Amino acid sequence: MFDQVERGLTLSDRAYETTVRSLRTKLLAAHFALRETRRQVIVIISGADGAGKGELVHRFAEWLDPRGLVTHAFWDDSDEETQRPHFYRFWKAMPGAGRVGVFFGSWYTRPIIDRVSRVRRKRDFIPELDRIVAFEHMLTQGGVTFVKLWLHLAKKAQRDRLEENEKDGKIGPDDWEHFKQYDRFREVSERALIHTNEPWSPWRVIDATDRRYREVAAGKALLAALEGALKGVSSTAASAGRGPGAARGRSRAAVAKSGVRVVRASTTVAARTYDPGPSLLDAVDLTQTLSPKRYDDEMDELQERLARLTWAAREKKVAMVLAFEGWDAAGKGSAIRRVTWALDPRLYRVIGVAAPTDEEKAQHYLWRFWRHIPRDGRVASFDRSWYGRVLVERVEGFAPVEDWDRSYDEINAFERQLTDHGIALAKFWIHISPEEQLRRFKERQRVKYKQFKITPDDWRNRKKLPAYRLAVEEMLARCEAADAPWTVVAGNDKRFARVQILRTVCDRLEGALG
């Protein structure tokens, strides 16, 4: 891969000036056109030390419209970043719809460096690259176009560059030390590039010896990507807002061909032929109850246990994420409060998931959950969650079928990233019978301070129970994993439900604490 580009290509001053003038005009036109779309373009600038990566960042800042450009250098992580799953920092830097994000450093940096220095073992390296492929694939399908640039220097060219820098006094103490590793760095990077060189996010390797040549080559690659992104725009995206990508048609096949193991995708069957198997909801015994006396006793004990566990989790820097889903009036809010009452207010946050803001709408649907992932040692309770994608967005038609259908895999990969980071994850579906729901609706209408909880939406949703039920069953079946299992709660008796939830939370956290 690298051999092929080592051709010592250069560009004269005059050729550069002429080419750049026309290139800038076209780049700007494309960049402006992009603003009118919902597509995001991510430019990854990576490559060898001394290859001019920083200079290229400056050049793009000069050539593009600054108002549609966000530049982000991944370096020197804050503790808000290191105390969260690895991909959090990249989600945080994501450019909004219609914008270009230039990334100096990326999700490739750490795996490659760690592999070069042998901090990461060979058998962990390929799975990490697979995760990257799945991540880029997900973003591509969500409307992102990637421009992955690798500025390459042949061994002699890098030596020349370092000698030049040394003369100018610009050399760092480690530069020659790194240079000794040239061959190993080259081998590892080449492997990474080949493994992640997918049709929907190909690498562009550029011989970086000549400044003018590399800048023009990079600019042309960016222009081609921008123009591709513009062609791929779907005229009107659904309310979820993500148009299908240009590569949509071939994506599934391409993933299969490239050998990517889409993480935990046990079900690659198209949803429309999906057979959920035996009902998981029917299996729940809704007649289970708990007497007030036993409820009080168990509640006291469990809340004390949870308080102890969360302080231990803070000590051990283990975070917890709780996702609460359930039928309308199933008691999500009151169940969450029974959990949080056990916690010191400094240790938890409750995230009520409502309509997305416009900053959220300009991003992939998972972005608005990533921004609330807790730091190590903290608890986040989501009152409704990312599962809205395959529940309300599916049933109400807010997301087209091809969007929500692939979300099962995306959600599994998302949760896997949380649990891989050591986060304790518990997911609850609070189940109640339609009769119990009706009884509660009527009660809510009766009791004054509960009236706010009942809206025309609730009655409307009730009419769609069969469609929701299908969606719930499919969700429970397809998003199940050993470290991210669903707990279907028997919710007809509130006391029974709350104790079941609290006990599960305790067990899960205890398990994560080891």
Cross-strand pairs, 73: 104
Strands (E), 121-259: 144-152, 203-207
State how far the alpha carbon of 46 is from the alpha carbons of 43, 56, 103, 193, 305, in Å: 10, 10, 9, 11, 49
Out of 65, 114, 160, 301, name the contact with a copy of itself by CB under 8 A. 65
What is the closest distance, in whole angstroms, from the C-beta atom of residue 102 to a copy of itself in the complex? 9
CA 401 to chain centre: 20
Rounded Cα gap, residues 334 and 325, in angstroms = 12
* 66 touches a copy of itself by CB under 8 A: yes
Contact between 61 and 71 under an 8 Å Cβ cutoff? The reply is yes
Nearest to 218 by CA among 148, 154, 131: 148
Rounded Cα gap, residues 424 and 306, in angstroms = 13
* 172 touches a copy of itself by CB under 8 A: no
State how far the alpha carbon of 17 is from the alpha carbons of 23, 60, 120, 215, 492, in Å: 10, 15, 44, 11, 74
Rounded Cα gap, residues 420 and 194, in angstroms = 25
Out of 121, 449, 463, 466, name the contact with a copy of itself by CB under 8 A. 449
CA 355 to chain centre: 19
Nearest to 424 by CA among 323, 343, 350, 347: 323
* 71 touches a copy of itself by CB under 8 A: yes
Rounded Cα gap, residues 271 and 401, in angstroms = 9
- Of the pair 384, 439, the CB lying nearest a copy of itself is at 384
* 375 touches a copy of itself by CB under 8 A: yes
> Tell me, what DSSP letter sits at residue 253?
H
What is the closest distance, in whole angstroms, from the C-beta atom of residue 471 to a copy of itself in the complex? 23
* 292 touches a copy of itself by CB under 8 A: no
Q: Which of residues 314-343 bind a copy of itself (CB under 8 A)?
A: 333, 336-337, 340-341
- Binding segment for a copy of itself among 58-66, 189-197, 219-227, 256-264 (CB under 8 A)? 58-66
What is the closest distance, in whole angstroms, from the C-beta atom of residue 341 to a copy of itself in the complex? 5
- Binding segment for a copy of itself among 71-79, 260-268, 405-413, 465-473 (CB under 8 A)? 71-79
Out of 6, 10, 24, 86, name the contact with a copy of itself by CB under 8 A. 24
Out of 114, 383, 402, 458, name the contact with a copy of itself by CB under 8 A. 383
Rounded Cα gap, residues 257 and 259, in angstroms = 5
Out of 2, 9, 32, 110, name the contact with a copy of itself by CB under 8 A. 32
Out of 9, 33, 73, 171, name the contact with a copy of itself by CB under 8 A. 73
Q: Point out which residues bind a copy of itself (CB under 8 A).
A: 21, 24-25, 28-29, 32, 53-54, 57-58, 61-62, 65-67, 69, 71, 73, 75-76, 78-80, 104, 333, 336-337, 340-341, 344-346, 349-350, 352, 354, 357-359, 375, 383, 448-449, 452
